[in-house]
């Protein structure tokens, strides 16, 4: 499954609270080496760090978005905002766009 990077997913998760993804980024501690590792999984909600946002999920959450490929980069554009962000993958471009739209208050968290 192709999903947005861990760093972008964590930032979007904190801004959006979107928890209804099929998979999530999970954290695992290695006590012997004192390191933290991450993996994608549908299991173990106790270790959930952030949603794992695939392109289909992001396109359904962000209304009026376009994704284009140009000169080896992916660009996500929002039709009602000047936001247009590029990345190496379409998932990261769409995730960056969602983050920017939350910062601009174009996207907002639903009421709890």
pLDDT in tens, 36-64: 777 777 766 677 788 899 999 999 999 89
Contact present, 63 and 97 (Cβ < 8 Å): no
pLDDT tens figures, 91-106: 999 999 999 999 998 8
Structural domain boundaries in the chain = 6-103
Q: Would you tell me how many other CB atoms lie within 10 Å of the CB of residue 94?
A: 29
Kindly indicate the confidence band of residue 33, based on its pLDDT and cuts at 50, 70 and 90. low
Contact present, 14 and 63 (Cβ < 8 Å): no
Joined tokens for residue 34: 């004192």
Percent of the chain exceeding pLDDT 90 equals: 51
Main-chain dihedrals φ then ψ at residue 68, nearest 5 degrees: -135, 155
- The pTM for the full model equals 0.85
Helix (H), strand (E) counts: the chain: 3, 6
Between CA 33 and CA 17 the distance in angstroms is 31
Q: Which residue has the tokens 């939350």?
A: 102
Q: Would you tell me how many other CB atoms lie within 10 Å of the CB of residue 5?
A: 17
């Amino acid at each position: 499954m192709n999903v947005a990077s861990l760093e972008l997913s964590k930032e979007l998760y904190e801004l959006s609270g979107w928890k209804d993804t099929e998979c999530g980024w999970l954290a695992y501690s290695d006590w012997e080496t004192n390191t933290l590792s991450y993996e994608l999984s549908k299991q173990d909600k106790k270790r959930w760090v952030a949603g794992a946002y695939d392109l289909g999920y992001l396109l359904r959450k962000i209304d009026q978005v376009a994704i284009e490929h140009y000169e080896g980069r992916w660009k996500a554009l929002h039709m009602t905002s000047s936001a247009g962000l590029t990345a190496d993958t379409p998932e990261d471009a769409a995730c960056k766009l969602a983050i920017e739209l939350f910062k601009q208050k174009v996207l907002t968290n639903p009421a709890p």
